[in-house]
A and B are shown apart, each in its own frame.
Chain A
Amino acid sequence: MIENRPGLRLFCHAMLLLSVLTLAFPVWIAVVASTHTAERMLTVPIPLWPGTELLDNYRNVLLKGVAGASAAPVSRMMFNSLVMALSIAVGKIIISLLSAFAIVYFRFPLRMVFFWMIFITLMLPVEVRIFPTYKVVSDLHMINTYAGLTLPLIASATATFLFRQFFMTIPDEMMEAARMDGASALRFFWDVVLPLSRTNMAALFVILFIYGWNQYLWPLLITTDESIYTAVIGIKRMIPGGDASVDWNLVMAAAVLAMLPPALVVIVMQKWFVKGLIEQEK
C-alpha cells in the first residue's frame, strides 16, 4: 500500500463483492431451482430461496434421469464425461511428452517436418473440419464409442510446445551426465525428465481435464446413443425446443451436477490451474 485511501479501498471491495455476487447469481438460481418441485418452478415469480426437494430431485436425476428427451440417468452421463475428460487429459499429456522429448533430445531426418505438422494442428480446431472428421470417425466405426469421443481431440500442439519449452530449460549437463553414466535415452526420460516435469504435468492436467469435460460440438456429433451421452450433451438434450414444458428443477439439478467436477478441480488445484493457464501466454 502506497498511500492510505480508505475510500478507494472501500470502492474496490464493493466492486469486487458486487461482481462476485453477479457471477454467482446464475448458479445460485440453478441451485435454488434444483430444490423445488417442478410445479413450483412454473409459478411466476420463481423462488429465490432453497426449498425442500433437494434430496428427491438429485436422487431422481442421478438414478432415473429426466423424463422426455433423454432418459439416461445423469450418473451414467457423468461417468461418460469423466472417462472422456480423463482420457483426453492423460492422453494429451502422454503423447505430447513423448513427441516433445523426441524433438528436443534427438536429431533426425524429418524432425522439423514433424514439428511443423504438429504446429499446424493449432490452426485446425474441430469446428473447421467437422464433416470430414466425422466421416473419418464413422468410417473407422467409432461412432458412439469412447475412442471416437476422445481420439480425434487428443493431438495437442499447445501441450507439445509447453513441454518442449520446459525441456529446453533442463540443463544440458544433466543429459551429458546421464549419458556418461551409460543411461539410455528412455532411462534418462524416465528417471530425469519425467520427475522434473511433474509440476508442468499437474498444471496441464487441470486445464485439459476442464477442456475435455466441457467439450460440446464433438460429442454432439459422435454420440447418438443415450448410454454414451456426456453430462454436457445430456443437459442440452433435456431442453426440448420451443416452449414445451420443462422440468426445470431436474434440469437445473443436472446442470449443477455437471459443473461440480470441473469447478472442484479448479478450486482444489487452483495453484496448478493458474500456473497452467498463465504458461500458455509464454
Chain B
Amino acid sequence: MAAEKRAYFPAGWLPYALVAPQLAITLVFFMWPASQAIWQSLLVEDSFGLNVEFVGLLNFRELLADSFYLNSFKVTAIFSVVMTVGALLISLVLAGCCDYLIRGVRVYQTLLIWPYAVAPVVAAVLWSFIFNPSVGILTYVLRSWFGVEWNHLLNGNQAMTLIIIASGWKQISYNFLFFLAGMQAIPKSLIEAAAIDGAGPLKRFLSVVLPLISPTTFFLLVVNIVYAFFETFGVIDATTQGGPVQATQVLVYKVYRDGFKGGDLGSSAAQSVVLMVIVIVLTVVQFRYIERKVQY
C-alpha cells in the first residue's frame, strides 16, 4: 500500500453506492461461483445428479492417482515452458535489433504489434489452415521439399508444435513491445559509457542492457506463463481438441472436457481448485516482485 490521501470527503452512503456495482458483480459472478467450485470439489455426484455425497479430499486423491491428469500436467509444463522461452527469446532479439536502429523504430513497431489484436482462436484457425494435412501450404512444402509427412491430427509431437507456434505467434508482439519500451527507457549515457570503455554492441547488450531490463523479463515470464496456462484454451479447441491421444490435453482444456463433455463435475471442480491455487501462486509471485521493485 502506497501513500494515502491526507484529506477525504465525508463518508456517508456515497462510497458504498460507488463500489456497489463492482462489488455486486464480484460477489455474484466471482465469489459465489468460486466457493461453489471449492464445495463441489469435496462432493461426489452420481451421473443423474440424484445422489450427492460428501467425500472430503477423495476427488483430489483420485486426481493425483490419475495418470491422465499427471500427463496433462506434463503436457502443460512442456507447452508453457517451450512457448514462453521461445517467444521471449525471439522478441528479445527483435527488440534488441529495433533498439539498435535509430530510424524506423516506430515503423517496425507498428508492423510487429498488430498480431496482438488477433484472437488466439483466430490465430489457431489461420495456422491450422497453413498446416492443414490435405491442403495446407506448409504441409505441401514440408512434403515435397523435405519429405516430411505432416499430420497434427495423428502425430502428437506435430500437434504440440502447432499449438506452440499458434500461441507463441501473438505473444511475440506483446513481448516485443515491453522489451522495446524497457530498452528505450535505459539512459543513453550508460550505453555510451560502456562504448567508451570499449564494449562492442553485443557485449553492451549482454552486460548492460540485459541486466537493466531484467524486471521486464521477469514480468513477461509470469505473464506468458499465465497466458499459456489459461488463454490458450481457444487455440487448443480450434486445432487439436486435446488430441491426438491426449498429447495436447492442457489442464484448462481437461477441466472443460471432463466437466462439459464427461459430466464428472466433482473431478472437474477439483481440477478447477488446483488451477486456482496455481493462479494464486503466480499472482503472489508477481506482486511480491512489484513490491520489491517499488522499494528501490
Contacts and interface: CB of A to CB of B under 8 A. Distances in A.
Contacts of A172: 5-7
B234 to A, nearest CB: 4
Contacts, number: 294
Contacts of A24: 111
B219 interface: yes
Contacts of B94: 15-16, 19
B90 interface: yes
A259 B119 contact: yes
B268 interface: yes
Interface string B268-282: 110011011001100
Interface string B45-75: 0000000000000000000000000000000
B110 interface: yes
B230 A127 contact: yes
A132 B100 contact: no
Interface residues of A, number: 107
Contact of B126 (A30, A151, A152): A30
Interface in A82-140: 94-96, 98-99, 101-108, 111, 114, 117-118, 120-125, 127-133, 135-137
A255 B91 CA distance: 25
B15 interface: yes
Contacts of B129: 26, 29-30, 33, 248, 251-252
Interface residues of B, number: 100
Contacts of B6: 172
Contacts of B216: 281
A155 B117 contact: no
A281 B14 contact: no
Contacts of A251: 125, 129
B5 A274 contact: no
A1 B105 CA distance: 13
Contacts of B85: none
A259 B117 contact: yes
B245 interface: no
Contacts of B9: 105-106, 175, 179, 184-185, 188
Interface in A251-282: 251-252, 255, 258-259, 262-263, 265-267, 270, 273-274, 277-278, 281-282
Nearest to A96: B22
Interface centre among B90, B135, B256, by most A CB within 10 Å? Answer: B135
Nearest to A210: B117
B134 A243 contact: yes
A136 B32 contact: yes
Contacts of A107: 8, 11
Given A12-B98, A26-B169, A258-B122, A102 B238 contact: no
B97 A15 contact: yes
Contacts of A55: none
A26 B11 contact: no
A267 B114 contact: yes
Interface stretch (B76-84, B155-163, B173-181): B173-181
B140 A44 contact: yes
Contact of A99 (B7, B8, B19): B19
A168 B2 contact: yes
A220 B237 contact: yes
Contacts of A274: 109, 113, 177, 181
A185 B5 CA distance: 14
Contacts of B119: 213-214, 216, 232, 258-259, 262
B21 A98 contact: yes
> Which 6 residue pairs spanning A and B have beta carbons closest together?
A132-B33, A214-B119, A132-B36, A102-B18, A216-B234, A12-B97
Given A3-B195, A29-B126, 19 more contacts: A1-B102, A23-B115, A30-B126, A46-B135, A48-B137, A99-B18, A99-B19, A118-B22, A129-B276, A151-B25, A155-B26, A185-B14, A216-B233, A232-B122, A239-B125, A255-B122, A258-B119, A259-B119, A274-B109
16 contacts: A12-B97, A41-B135, A98-B22, A99-B22, A102-B14, A106-B14, A131-B268, A132-B40, A136-B29, A137-B29, A155-B30, A160-B22, A241-B241, A263-B114, A266-B116, A277-B177
Interface of B: 2-3, 5-9, 11, 14-16, 18-19, 21-23, 25-34, 36-37, 40, 90, 93-94, 97-98, 100-102, 104, 108-123, 125-127, 129-130, 133-135, 137, 140, 153, 169, 172-174, 177-178, 181, 191-192, 195, 201, 216, 219, 230, 233-234, 237-238, 241, 252, 255-256, 259-260, 265, 268-269, 272-273, 275-276, 279-280, 283, 290
